[in-house]
Amino acid sequence: MTYLPISQTVKSLLAALAFALLSSVALANEGGELIAPSGANVDDQQSLQRGAKYFVNYCMSCHNLKYMRYSRLAADLDLSEQQVMDALNPGGNKFGETMTVAMAPADAALWFGKAPPDLSLTTRYREGGADWVYSYLKSFYVDPKRPSGWNNLVFPSASMPHVLWELQGTQAAVYDTVSAKNAEGELLQTQKFSHFELIKPGKLDAKAYDQVARDIATFLEYVGEPAVFQRKDVGWKVILFLAFFTFITWLLKKEYWSDVH
């Protein structure tokens, strides 16, 4: 008789676990279909270098990378000091300084209603990381109701204008009307996003623009963890050392026990 309460506890624990798992799956799906895989790969040096260039040309007038040093960027992206200072440093910062520009946050807040945030850690805290950034850059659409004239599907009502519109072109969001009954049996009509429609082509076709978005996402992925290359490099050495050490320990054990038998 005493085991009954225990098995009931186990049952309710299992039920709670199952519920938690199911609800986390449901949460992950909500809006998740908007985030597309970016294919960002920090080991792709050329993508990283292009991403850095796009970032400096199109983003750095508003966004800082306050944890990213020029000297480190040069070393990790295989660029010389000269290349970095000439091509990636519009603010004329020193080589040992971070990638910051002098747009005073107060000015920016006045112009955009919100100060553009530092993007050093965006790929770390946004769920989806590089995929989020990639999808965000692909999801701007015209919306006359917004002060900037732009809205974003991944980040609704974002106060950032679509700074890459000349490359991507101008797209509109097309919605489907979906009818569904609510709990009381009333018929409700809701708007569900269907697809984007290109209303004015940009300089690039869709594939080329995707690559630009991917390059920027790759660059921000790297900026989120500049130690990524060292981590990978140290990682396999540690594994190798452990494997070797395990072998030595096994030899030692054999040696010790050989006297016993």
Contact residues: ligand HEC, CB under 6 A? 58-59, 61-63, 112, 114, 116-117, 119, 122, 126, 133, 136, 158-161, 163-164, 216
Q: How far is the CB of 67 from ligand HEC (least distance, A)?
A: 15
Q: How far is the CB of 124 from ligand HEC (least distance, A)?
A: 10
CA proximity to 174, closest of 191, 157, 154? 191
Closest CB to ligand HEC among residues 41, 190: 41
Q: How far is the CB of 91 from ligand HEC (least distance, A)?
A: 14
Q: How far is the CB of 45 from ligand HEC (least distance, A)?
A: 20
CA proximity to 192, closest of 210, 174, 211, 219? 174
Neighbours of 110 (CB within 10 A): 11
Closest CB to ligand HEC among residues 98, 139: 139
Round to whole Å and give the CA distance between 91 and 89.
5
Half-sphere exposure (CA, 13 Å, Cβ side) for 99? 30
Q: How far is the CB of 123 from ligand HEC (least distance, A)?
A: 8
Closest CB to ligand HEC among residues 88, 133: 133
Closest CB to ligand HEC among residues 74, 164: 164
Rg (CA), the chain: 26
Q: CA 241 from chain center: how many Å?
A: 33
Q: Are 139 and 154 a contacting pair, CB within 8 Å?
A: yes
Closest CB to ligand HEC among residues 95, 165: 165
